[in-house]
Amino acid sequence: MIPIQNQVTLLFPSKSSNEAFARTAAACFAAQLDPTLEELGDVKTAVSEAVTNAIVHAYPKELGVVTLRLRILEGGVFEVTVKDKGVGIPDVAKAREPLYTTGDDARSGMGFTIMESFMDALRVRSVPGKGTTVTMRKRFSPRPGGRG
Ligand SMILES: Nc1ncnc2c1ncn2[C@@H]1O[C@H](COP(=O)(O)OP(=O)(O)OP(=O)(O)O)[C@@H](O)[C@H]1O
Ligand SMILES: [Mg+2]
């Protein structure tokens, strides 16, 4: 376990308008680690994919709660957890495969693949009927002069 230096938790309904809020909020919180623009962009992309999944797939019939937890861990590690109490994923390994989707034509089945490539680590825990928790970590590059 890496010690936690700072954290914030946000709860919001699974409305598509909250996707932009979530990715911007994650970038704002990550800013205190003095990331590069590229690192910030990577985090925003990964958060966008995870939150979009909670909005689109977790609650197909009605709105539900999405929890976004942001943590700064020792050593410049940024951790993002996106949690829902929605339908869950019956086969997580299959869902993580590139191009696998249960969505409509608008979905390409690349969300988990994108999260994996833009972050250093991705963990997906899901229980059908109970919900899904996606945890991602990224270590930001050391900056000259260190982080205050
Ligand atoms: N939070 C979630 N709740 C329920 N099912 C999910 C959740 N996240 C992902 N899934 C399932 O995993 C599949 C793969 O997700 P992934 O993000 O890789 O692709 P996608 O969302 O279908 O397409 P894309 O992200 O490219 O638009 C989804 O089609 C869906 O079946
Ligand atoms: Mg997706």
Q: Where are the domains of the chain?
A: 4-139
Mean residue pLDDT of the chain comes to 96
Question: What is the Cα–Cα distance from 141 to 11, expressed in whole angstroms?
Answer: 29
Task: Calculate mean pLDDT across residues 39-52.
Answer: 98
Whether pLDDT at 35 is above 80: yes
Whether pLDDT at 134 is above 60: yes
State the DSSP H helix or E strand holding residue 69, giving kind and residue range, or none if neither.
Answer: strand 65-73
Ligand 2 centre to CA of 145 (Å) is 38
- Catalytic residue from among 18, 19, 23, 53: 53
Quick one: pLDDT band at residue 1, thresholds 50, 70, 90? confident
Ligand 1 centre to CA of 107 (Å) is 8
Percent of the chain's residues with pLDDT above 90: 91
Question: What is the Cα–Cα distance from 25 to 22, expressed in whole angstroms?
Answer: 5
CATH 2.60.40.10 for domain 4-139: no
- Contact 87 CB / ligand 1 (< 6 Å): yes
Question: What is the Cα–Cα distance from 148 to 96, expressed in whole angstroms?
Answer: 37
What pLDDT is recorded for position 146? 65
- Contact 108 CB / ligand 1 (< 6 Å): yes
Quick one: pLDDT band at residue 143, thresholds 50, 70, 90? confident
Residue 126: which residues within 8 A CB-CB, separation 6 or more? 88, 89, 92, 132, 133
Say how many C-beta atoms besides its own lie within 10 A of residue 24's C-beta. 13
Residue 74 among the catalytic residues: no
- Catalytic residue from among 69, 107, 125, 147: 107
Whether pLDDT at 147 is above 70: no
Residue 96 among the catalytic residues: no
Whether pLDDT at 84 is above 60: yes
Q: What is the DSSP letter of 148?
A: -
Residue 23 among the catalytic residues: no
Contact 23, 10 (CB under 8 A): no
Whether pLDDT at 28 is above 80: yes
What pLDDT is recorded for position 37? 96
Q: Positive or negative CA dihedral for 105, 107, 23, 132?
A: positive
**pTM given for the model:** 0.96
Ligand 1 centre to CA of 81 (Å) is 16
